[in-house]
Amino acid sequence: MAKKKGDKLGRYESKRDFDATPEPAPRKRRPRKAKATALRFVVQEHSARRLHWDLRLEHDGVAASWAIPNGIPDDPEENRKAIRTEDHPLEYLEFEGEIPAGEYGAGTMRIWDRGTYECEKWEEKKVIVRFAGERVSGRYALFQAGSGKDWMIHRMDPSAEERGPFPESVVPMLAKLAELPADADEGGWAAEVKLDGVRAIAYCRPGRLTLQSRNLNDVTRQYPEVKGLTRQLGSLDAVLDGELVAFDESGRPSFGHLQQRIHQTSESVVRRRMKSYPVTYMVFDLLYLDGHDLMEQPYSRRRELLEKLELEGESWQTPRYSTGHASELLAATAAQGLEGLVLKRLDSHYVPGGRSGAWLKIKNSMRQELVIGGWMPGEGRRKDQVGSLLMGYFDPEAGKEGFRYAGKVGTGFSDADLRELLERLQPLARETSPFAGRQPPKAKSARFVEPELVAEIEFAEMTSDGMVRHGSFKGLREDKPANEVRLEEELPA
C-alpha cells in the first residue's frame, strides 16, 4: 500500500523545530504523478559540518532527496556516492538560507542549480532521469548500492563539454638559483617573496582535497586546516601549486616553526600543534581548472585565473606578485630578514619537475639542501648526543659512488632537534663511510649513516670545491629524495 504524504514527511518533521529553523514546514498539496511531463529538481550546496550537495527531485507530492558528498559527476566514467535521505516538502525546492547552529543540518544552504527533469524510470532501488538545468543537464541514474540509504549516482550519456583528464602526481616546477637578472625591473618578470616553507600540490575536487609533497608523498593528514579550501572552491575541480608556511610571532615565515608540523602524523599531536604552530597554504599557481589543463598557458594567464578564485581564508592565501620592481623588493626582503625572491617569466609555461631559467630564485642568505652522511658525538654531557652533522651531496657525474663530503654543521640545533636527530639517525647506522673521495676530519670518531635524511643548511660561504663554511642547521626536509640532492650552481646575471 502506498504511503501517504504525511507518512513520507514524518521523518522530515521529526528532525526539525520549525520555530527555530527557517526551513519550510510541510503543507497539504495534491501530488503530481511522474509521467513524461517535466518535473522540478534542485541541487543545493550545503555547507554543513561537511560540505556536500543535496539533490531533490519532485516526485509524488514530495521532494525525494539524496546527499551527494562530492557533487554531481559530469564524467560518465565516474560514479559518485549518494546517500538517500528523508523526503522533503516541495517548498524545499526553493529554499535557501542559514540553518541555525544546534539544528539538524546546521549551516548555509544555497541553490547551486535548478531546472526540470523527465523521469524515465522510478523504482524502489533505481531512478533514471534526464535533467535540464543551468549547470546539470543530461541523463543520470541513481541506484542503490548496499544498504537502504547507500546509493550511487552515474551519468549515462557523454558530457556536453569536453573535459581534460584530472592531473595526478604532478612534480612541482622548480626555480634555478641565480643572481638578479639585468632585466628584472623591465616588466617581463613576476617577482614574489621567497617563502621559507615546503612545496605542495593541492588536488581539489568537490568536497575533498589531497596535498602532495614535492616527492609525491601524501601529506594531507599533516595539515588538516587546509581542507577548508574546498568549501571556497565549491563544485570546481582545481589543481593548485603553493607552499605550506608557518609564521613566527612577528609574521615572518619560520622554517623552525614548520618543523613542528612536518614530521607529525598522529591525529592527536597534529590537532595540538595546529593551535601552537598553525600553517598557511600560500597558493601561487593554478594548473587545472574545471576540466581545463592550464599548464601550457603563460604564467600571467594562470595567475589571472587564480586571482579570480579569490582564495583567501584563515589557513590559505593567494599572495600577490609585482612587476617592474624586483630590485626594490629584493632590498626590502633583505631588510626584513627574509630569504629572498622568486622571479618567474610572465610568459613561462608550467613544466612539471623542470628547473630552467624561466623561474629563478634570488637569495639574500646562502642556503642549500644537503644529505646527512654521519655525525660526530658531542663533548662533555653531550658525548652521547649529536655534536655536529657530516653533510654531503650526490654528484651525478660520479655514478653510484658519487656521494661527496660537503663539510660539518655544528650549530642551529635546539634540544628537541638533537633528540629527534639521534632517533632518526641511529637506525641508519653503518660501519663504513658513505662518502667517496674526500673524507671528514677525525673520521675514526665519526658515526656514519646511510645517506637518506635531507636537511636544510644555512651557511656563510660555499668554497670552490663544494665545502660549506659556518653552516647552521635549519631543519629536516621530507619533501625531497636524498638521491636528488645536488649542489646548486648559481646562474650569472
> Which pLDDT score, from 0 to 100, does residue 487 have?
86
Distance, in Å, from the CA atom of 47 to the CA atom of 45, rounded to the nearest integer, reads: 6
Catalytic machinery residues: 194
- CATH code that applies to domain 367-484: 2.40.50.140
The residues of the chain that CATH labels 3.30.470.30 are: 174-364
CATH topology classification for 174-364: D-amino Acid Aminotransferase; Chain A, domain 1 (3.30.470)
Distance, in Å, from the CA atom of 391 to the CA atom of 406, rounded to the nearest integer, reads: 5
Low-confidence ranges of the chain (pLDDT < 70): 1-6, 28-37, 398-401, 490-493
Smallest Cα–Cα separation from 140: which of 161, 117, 162, 166?
Answer: 117
Whole-number mean pLDDT of the chain?
A: 90
The residues of the chain that CATH labels 2.40.50.140 are: 367-484
Burial classification of residue 169, based on how many CB atoms lie within 10 Å of its CB (0-12 exposed, 13-18 middle, 19 or more buried): exposed
**pTM for the full predicted model:** 0.80
How do residues 337-388 score in pLDDT, each as one tens digit?
A: 888 999 999 999 999 999 889 999 998 888 889 999 999 998 877 777 899 9
Smallest Cα–Cα separation from 325: which of 177, 184, 492?
Answer: 184
Grid cell at residue 370: 644537503
CB 56 within 8 A of CB 92: yes
